[in-house]
Amino acid sequence: MTGISEILVLILLITGILIIPRMFKPEPKAAPKGPVPALSMKMRAGIVVSLVIPLITALILKPWAGNFVVFISVGILPVVLSWALFWVITAQKK
């Protein structure tokens, strides 16, 4: 009989630790859902330029032919740095 009572005590502890707190957890508050703000013309232009610069650089340098490091330096790195700078500047305004 001792083994059965120990098993029942373990089940009671597991239930008390894991299941009961989840039953009494408050409902998560949903964030108010509003319309998604539209992108400004500058932001849209930045996105387009961010796509066009690496594309044009890839067509000129042909990174698949062995110029991968130059392509990263000239095509990808300026885009990443400009978005990082934009992120830092917009953080100061807010």
If phi over 0 gives left and psi between -120 and 50 gives alpha, with beta otherwise, what is residue 37? beta
Token pair 């964030």 in the structure block, residue: 31
Question: Are 58 and 71 in contact, with CB atoms under 8 Å apart?
Answer: yes
pLDDT value at residue 15: 82
Residue 93 in this model has a pLDDT that exceeds 90: no
The pTM of the whole model exceeds 0.75: no
- Over residues 21-44, the pLDDT tens digits come to 777 777 777 777 778 788 889 889
Confidence of residue 94 (pLDDT cuts 50, 70, 90): low
- Over residues 38-76, the pLDDT tens digits come to 888 988 999 999 999 999 999 998 988 888 899 889 999
